[in-house]
Amino acid sequence: MQDDDDLVKVRVMDEFDDLESELAADEEEIRVDSSDVRTEASEIAIRAIRQGAEIGGELPVVRKIAIMLIMAGSLLGLLFGVLLISADPSDLLSNPTGIVDGDAVVAGLLVNEITEDGGGGEYLEGIEVQLLDEQGNLITRAFTDQNGRFMFDEQPRQTRIVEVRTDGNITEQRILIPGEVTQITITMRAGSGTNNVDLRMDSTLQDSVDVGTAVAVFTVLTAAIGFGAAMEALRGNSYRRTQWLCGIALFSRGGVFIGPGLILAGMALNRIARRQFEDWNDREE
């Protein structure tokens, strides 16, 4: 930049030297001390170089590269945000375990309660286990094998109740959704009444989807701000505003770190070319 300043000064001085020679040749012309004009012209020319004025009106190379990097990083953020928004979570919400409807299995184990004297704990064979719907209507039944196991195949992902009734024992009920629990263990205890246990899981998938959508919208908005930063750098009016907008655009997270890296590189080049912004020149003056 100093070499350019010196070159401009030399050229301006030469032009005014020629002008002084012409004025000296004609004594009748009004003679003017050109030192002040010469200094002012030099300052104008130097300011033009600092602001990036080039032949053909093109942007300086450094600032042009900075704009391209900022736009590239913002574009990555915009693409990732659009992909996040366009993702359809309906399949995940309707089947969070990934089990195809009709292929879920309800399986379990039936044992006796261990008594205080150390007895019990045996597998119960030949005990009827009923599978009910949410209203308590019988769907099907099964009997435990010699190892106390039972199974209901090809159950849809709807609320089901597993019920076991035996003489002299408490009736056991387990409320579940097929596929959420791989296997249940039911312990038969002496007594009367009904023991109802709800094994259905509280799903947080909807909350996760809502958070993901909010993040996607935020990504798109910050990417749009990145394009605004590129336009601000193109105008060259305010260096500080350009850098602030670029800083906000970093949150677009395009390609995790690739997009922010490109924007940071653009900010670094803007720092190098800060003299080409009008507000920076005004502050120096």
DSSP string, 106-124: EEEEEEEPPPTTS---PBP
Give the pLDDT confidence score for residue 274 in this predicted structure: 85
Tokens of residue 215, six digits: 């993040």
Residue given tokens 């600092």 in the structure block:
50
User: Helix (H, G, I), strand (E, B), or coil: what is residue 166?
Assistant: coil
Phi-psi region for residue 149, left (φ > 0), alpha (ψ -120 to 50) or beta?
A: beta
Q: What is the pLDDT of residue 54?
A: 42
What's the pLDDT score for residue 129? Answer: 93
* Consecutive 10-residue averages of pLDDT for the chain (285 residues): 47 51 52 52 51 47 89 91 74 50 80 80 90 91 92 88 91 89 88 88 69 88 92 88 92 85 91 83 60
pTM of the model: 0.48
pLDDT at 9: 46
Inter-residue contact 73 to 225 (CB < 8 Å)? no
Query: What separation, in Å, do the N-terminal and C-terminal C-alpha atoms of the chain show?
Result: 17
The model's pLDDT over 141-150, given as tens digits with 9 standing for 90+, comes to 999 999 999 9
Provide φ and ψ at 260, rounded to 5°.
-60, -35
The per-residue DSSP string of 46-114 comes to HHHHHTT--TTSPPPHHHHHHHHHHHHHHHHHHHHHHHHHH---HHHHH-TT-PPTT-EEEEEEEEEPP
Strand extents, DSSP E, the chain: 104-112, 128-132, 138-143, 149-155, 160-164, 171-176, 184-188, 194-198
Percent of the chain past pLDDT 70, that is, above it, reads 70
What's the pLDDT at 94?
53
What pLDDT was estimated at residue 254?
82
Q: What pLDDT shows up at residue 52?
A: 45
Tell me how far the alpha carbon of residue 64 is from its chain's centroid.
28
Pairing of strands 171-176, 194-198: parallel
Per-residue pLDDT of 89-132, as tens digits, reads 555 555 554 444 556 889 999 998 887 777 777 888 999 999 99
Q: How far apart are CA 103 and CA 229, in angstroms?
A: 53
Three-state SS for 161?
strand
